[in-house]
Structure 1
Amino acid sequence: MNEKKRKAHIVLVGFMGTGKSTVCQLLAKRLGYDAVDMDAEIERREGRRIKDIFAEEGEAAFRKAETEALFEILARPDVQIVATGGGAVLAEHNCEAMLKDGYVIALTADAAHIIARVANDTARPLLQGNAAAAVNRLLHERKRAYDFAHLTIDTTDLTPQQVADRIGEGWLQLG
Structure 2
Amino acid sequence: MRNNIVFIGFMGSGKTSVGRLVAQRLGFQFVDTDAVVVERAGMQISEIFARHGEPWFRDHETSALSSLSILNRSVISTGGGIVLRPQNRALLQELGFVVWLTASEDVIFERVSRNKKRPLLQTADPRRTVHELLEQRHDLYQGTAQFTVNSTELSHEAAAEAVIAKARKAFSW
1:90 to 81, 84, 89: 84
Matches within 5 A, 1:12-91: 12-73=7-68, 75-91=69-85
Q: Percent identity?
A: 37
1:153 is matched with 149
Offset at 1:145?
A: 1.4
The residue matched to 1:86 in structure 2 has which SS? coil
Give the AA of the match of 1:132. R
The residue matched to 2:159 in structure 1 has which SS? helix
Q: Map Cα deviations across residues 63-120 of structure 1 (whole Å, 9 max, x no partner).
A: 00000000101x2243210000000000001110111221100011110000010113
Q: Map Cα deviations across residues 142-166 of structure 1 (whole Å, 9 max, x no partner).
A: 1211012111111111011111111
1:137 to 124, 132, 137: 132
Stretches of structure 2 that go unaligned for 5 or more consecutive residues are none
Distance in structure 1 (CA, Å) of the matches to 2:49 and 2:22? 30
Give the AA of the match of 2:147. L
2:103 to 109, 115, 123: 109
Distance in structure 2 (CA, Å) of the matches to 1:146 and 1:140? 10
Q: TM-score, normalised by structure 1?
A: 0.92
Q: Would you say how many aligned residue pairs link Structure 1 and Structure 2? A: 169
Distance in structure 2 (CA, Å) of the matches to 1:108 and 1:31? 22
Q: Map Cα deviations across residues 9-37 of structure 1 (whole Å, 9 max, x no partner).
A: 11000011110010111000000001111
Offset at 1:132?
A: 1.1
Give the AA of the match of 1:170. K
2:116 is matched with 122
2:168 is matched with 172
Offset at 1:122?
A: 1.7
Which structure 1 residue ranges, 4+ long, deviate > 6 Å from structure 2?
none
Stretches of structure 1 that go unaligned for 5 or more consecutive residues are none
Distance in structure 2 (CA, Å) of the matches to 1:141 and 1:78? 31
1:99 is matched with 93
